[in-house]
Amino acid sequence: MSEKVFQSSQGAIYGALIADALSMPVHWYYNPGDIKSGYGSWLTGYVAPNKRHPSSIMSLSAVDGSGRTGWHKKSKQIVGSVILHDKLKYWQGDRTTHYHQGMRPGDNTLNSVMILEVLKTIQRVDPKVNKPSREVRGQVLQDYVKFMTTPGSHNDTYAESFHRSFFKDWASQDEKLTTADQLLEFTEQRYTDKMRGSPDSQLLVIGSICPILPWIVRNAHRSENECTNEVIDFIKCTHPVKGILPFVEMYSRMLHAVINGRDLKQEVLNALSHSELGGPQKRERVLALIDKANRYPKGSEERLQCYQLATQTLGSACYIEGAMSSMLFLAYEFADDFEGGVLANANCGGENCHRGAALGALLGANAINKGHGLPTKLLEGLQAKKQVNGIFQDIQKTRLSNM
């Protein structure tokens, strides 16, 4: 790993975590006006979430698997017993309870905490990046299960469908699977089994980008194809649904290219022409929305409203095609403005945390490539800063020393 790739990789991880933490208090605010009315102004930095959420549906979410209550045959409860041990009361109580109640300004949501946990495992078990990827994947799964099933391991209240689906299937096994070998066998068989049935649409979401970020960093020094193959192998373990693979591959190739110094705007244009997003028609649609926003002064209320309308038009929910389109819109518009981009993403509402993590990684890597750095106030206010620094100090010692 070269020094440039190392710095860009660090920028990508910091960017993802910053964007997620900024969005956390207004995660799933589908009416952007509720952001300004609820917090007194548009967000300009880290804040704690309000106790009440104006459009929360957490109480409707299934506690025994993916999706919502009543969507599938009732089974063993997962939330409160297998994962999120002390959080069940928030799922079954007041319908206005915030998804991330009790978190601090600068805290990360569970999916972004997973980014750090996977990075730590990869660095601990394979610091020189010379072990077989399957072996490393097994260790990551082992640590994931331990982390998620240990009470108090994180402070988030919500876990999206892929976590709940994973642990529903895990808990249904005849024996408790905890070792790397057992979990590799379990996830590989699970993927095969899921391919025979109807796909779970609740796994076709932008949140799938979070767990692949550490694998892109691990393989940033390798070829684009090698990197993408490892990413695909891992996402099959957590998101056993075929429809997610083209989007994961698209994003993996894009971030790998940007970390390696390629121009972000050009990579976004390439991605927007992808058939899964609608081809050249989607690209032209996004560029037209950008032209419309550019009629208004930067930083103006009118311009922000254009961004909000654009993300609502392209897709503000979690589902991957729309969320990826909105993310690429913001990535192109803010390619050279990290802070502006992550704040606009937060203030657009919707699925801004996981869309933000995907966006922030691209903007963060690009900012480092351009020599801009990341804003000090956003680095200092991030609760995970010490962890990130520690991980990348270890990476620097072990991987750059081999140059």
CA distance 342 to 20: 9
204-245 residue pLDDT tens? 999 999 999 999 999 999 999 999 999 999 999 999 999 999
- CA–CA gap between residue 27 and residue 97 (Å, rounded): 12
Per-residue pLDDT at 237: 98
Assess whether pLDDT exceeds 90 at residue 138: yes
pLDDT on residue 263: 96
Domains and CATH numbers, the chain: 3-402 (1.10.4080.10)
Give the pLDDT of residue 21: 98
Per-residue pLDDT, averaged over 260-273, amounts to: 96
Average pLDDT, rounded, for the chain: 95
Least confident of 11-20, 25-34, 63-72: 63-72
- Identify the pLDDT of residue 3: 93
Neighbour count for residue 63 (Cβ, 10 Å):
22
What pLDDT score does 45 carry? 98
Local structure of 6: helix, strand or coil: helix
CB 1 within 8 A of CB 221: yes
Q: What does the pLDDT average to over 96-111?
A: 96
For 67: left if phi > 0, alpha if psi spans -120 to 50, otherwise beta; the answer is left
Note whether 246 and 236 are within 8 A (CB). Answer: no
pLDDT higher than 60, residue 401: no
pLDDT surpasses 60 at 87: yes
Cα 222 to chain center, whole Å? 22
Burial grade of 385 (CB within 10 A; 0-12, 13-18, 19 or more): middle
Left, alpha or beta for 382 (phi > 0: left; psi -120 to 50: alpha)?
Answer: beta
Q: What is the pLDDT of residue 211?
A: 97
Check residue 157 and give its pLDDT: 96
Distances (CA, A) of 366 to 14, 167, 193, 194, 359: 12, 36, 40, 37, 11
**Hey, what are 352's tokens?**
């801004």
Question: Cα(165)–Cα(184) distance, rounded to whole angstroms?
Answer: 16
Does pLDDT of 403 surpass 60? no
pLDDT digits (tens, 9 = 90+) for 352-399: 999 999 999 999 999 999 999 999 999 999 999 999 999 999 999 987
| Cα distance between residue 171 and residue 175, in whole Å | 8
Length of the chain: 403
- Rounded mean pLDDT, 88-98: 89
Q: What is the pTM of this model?
A: 0.96
Place of tokens 């100090």: 393
Between residues 62 and 188, the one the model is more confident about: 188
C-alpha pair distances (Å), 277 with each of 229, 385, 403:
21, 34, 39
C-beta atoms surrounding 160 within 10 Å:
23
Mean pLDDT of 187-209: 94
Q: 57: pLDDT confidence band, cut at 50, 70 and 90?
A: confident
Q: Of 68-72, 136-140, 160-164, 351-355, which gets the smallest average pLDDT?
A: 68-72
**Residue (of 243, 241, 249) closest to 271 by Cα position:** 249
Sorting pLDDT into bands at 50, 70 and 90, what band is 93? confident
Please tell me the predicted confidence (pLDDT) of residue 69: 66
Q: Which has the minimum average pLDDT: 6-20, 35-49, 79-93, 343-357?
A: 79-93
Q: Using CA atoms, how far apart are residues 316 and 181, in angstroms rounded to an integer?
A: 39
Separation between Cα atoms, residue 212 and residue 222, nearest integer Å = 15
